[in-house]
Amino acid sequence: MRWDASGAARAIAAAIETGMDFIEIALLDPASTDAALGRRLLDEASLPAVCSLGLPQAVWASHNPDGAIDFLTLALEKCAGLGATALTGVTYGGIGERSGLPPSYRELDNVARVIEAAARIAKGYGLLFGIEPVNRYESHLINTAAQGVAMIERVGADNLFLHLDTYHMNIEEKGQANGILAAREHLRYIHLSESDRGTPGEGTCDWDAIFSALAAIGFEGGLAMESFVNMPPEIAHGLSVWRPVAESSEEVIGRGLPFLRNKARQYGLIERGAA
């Protein structure tokens, strides 16, 4: 979870060993991120990267837009320094942010202001900027693809995109395929995460519906396998992960990754000869 010398080297080596096409870097603490070292290691491995984050509570966009903009400004600087193509995730709020009420007009105004500013800064670096709807237990602000599309169209920046996650969609959408269809032209990135956040293919997500919908919209964005194993306490708390979701990371990689690759090949989203 820390992108320091040892963490970066370990993650990149594992990604190369398993034949990943790219890596997603959790940029949760931008100030401690060694971007120059990370970029050198990524370049040496010829491994593209995407960065993701959720905002710390002190700078949640809904109530501290200026703080959120400052935090995202540094994160985008680090993202560009790493040579990544995009910053995405819960970029509009916190993981575990709930007011106990529906989002207010003021909260959404603040979120829109932050996203507009961040998209403008990202564009200056040549970066894309994504927003990820998450389920009602992790945020009260943006839970569905339709809500994400509405925010993107409200802001109107041409480097904004929607980032979906099959785990959250399994809770919030009236069928995961419908969420993908609602996202359509704004969808450029998707987390392929099982219903229990464990090993893909061993839960209740409707993977045929998901992949057929992606094929139907001509999806050409990033397909990112996501599972939460061995989480640090501060992240586990926000995600409400209280028990092991898989036996090991080896299980997730060894069984989940081939499952997702086979589905992607089946529906023509990656070439049949791809690793």
The residues, ordered by sequence, that sit 6+ positions from 251 with a Cβ below 8 Å of its Cβ are 199
Query: Cα–chain-centroid distance for residue 170?
Result: 16
Q: Give me the helix-helix angle, 35-45 and 5-17, nearest 10°.
A: 20
Q: Among residues 174, 180, 250, 240, which one has the least CA distance to residue 216? A: 180
Structure-token pair, residue 186: 């704004």
Query: What's the DSSP call for residue 186?
Result: G
Given the residues 24, 107, 172, 226, the one annotated as active site: 226
What type of residue is 107?
E
Q: Among residues 90, 170, 98, 173, which one has the least CA distance to residue 140? A: 98
What type of residue is 225?
M
Angstrom distance (rounded) from CA 15 to CA 142 = 31
226 is catalytic: yes
Given the residues 24, 107, 132, 138, the one annotated as active site: 132
Angstrom distance (rounded) from CA 131 to CA 233 = 24
- DSSP codes, 67-108: HHHHHHHHHHHHHHHHT-SEEEEETTS-TTB--SSPPPHHHH
Structure-token pair, residue 96: 């575990």
Starting at the edge strand that comes first in sequence, how are the strands of the sheet with 222-225 ordered? Answer: 23-26, 49-54, 86-90, 128-131, 160-165, 187-192, 222-225
- Please, what sign has the CA dihedral across residues 261, 40, 1, 16? positive
Which are the catalytic amino acids? 132, 226
